[in-house]
Amino acid sequence: MDKFEEILHSYQENIEEDVKKRVEFIRNYVKDANAKGVVVGISGGIDSAVTAALAIIAMGKENVIGVWMPAYSDPIHERDAKALASAIDLNLVTVDLGSTFNNLAKEIEEIVSLNDLAKGNTKARLRMTTLYAIASVKGYLVSDTCNYSEIYVGYMTKGGDGLADFNPVGSLTKHQIRLLAKHLNIPKEIIEKAPSADLWAGQTDEQEMGFTYEDLDRYLLTGEGNKEVIEKIERLHRISEHKRVLMPTI
């Protein structure tokens, strides 16, 4: 067992305590904000699944809303969102953003032509707008779902999934999230699916980043890895710093 595997094994050995810590964090943060519950954007992926499961443990299923927001999304993600709702008894609602995205993109393209990245980020920002609208009416807080691996390299949309009221999973790498997902009885198909932000057809996290989550997590947890990969990781970390700090002022 190498250092990376030892760290993951240690996490798994103490996973019950970690769940208690994260549940208490959610419960206390919501209470201190004088809020009534939690809204979670459900992508059909593992990070939002774990976040929703923790929120339900913390707040009770009657105080958690999961929102599935397709915008020409791959049907597999809708299937997995519904499987999650069934597995953890999540109150899942749907807000289809396809026509809204079309109308907005059409207006913007009167000024500039949108590439895939700009279109994908626009979808992410529309999703966060939706979550905050629901949260505002319900008196809830919006939970972020980004994990530590994504946050470190800036693999989130500023004003989109990088924006929320609190984050109960932001200190966990993708591999730790997978272990936690198994512990929380998240459906197997969600755990084993290739991670994707569902920003455009066929898009996957690892393809876009240029390295695997194993490469990234090994480096984050042990400092070890291929020199060229580490340089890529650190470059992404540097150029995405603006996503992790409050906007500067003068």
Residues 6+ apart with CB under 8 A from 92: 42, 66, 67, 68, 81, 82, 84, 85
User: Which of these is catalytic: 80, 144, 150, 217?
Assistant: 150
228 as an active site residue: the answer is no
Q: Residue 104: how many CA atoms within 13 Å on its side-chain side?
A: 14
Q: Binding site: what residues are annotated?
A: 41-48, 125, 145, 150, 158, 165, 174, 196, 242-243
Q: Binding site for ATP: what residues are annotated?
A: 41-48, 145, 174, 196
234 as an active site residue: the answer is no
Residue 42 and residue 92 in contact, taking contact as beta carbons nearer than 8 Å: yes
126 sits in which H/E element: helix 116-138
**Nearest CA-CA partner of 45 in 191, 208, 200:** 191
Q: Binding site for Mg(2+): what residues are annotated?
A: 47, 150
Q: Binding site for deamido-NAD(+): what residues are annotated?
A: 125, 158, 165, 242-243
Please, which residues bridge with residue 67 across strands? 41, 93
User: Which of these is catalytic: 47, 144, 198, 215?
Assistant: 47
Long-range contacts of 149-152 (CB under 8 A, 24+ apart): 149/173, 149/174, 149/213, 149/216, 149/217, 149/220, 150/47, 150/174, 150/205, 151/244, 152/216, 152/220, 152/233, 152/237
Catalytic residues: 47, 150
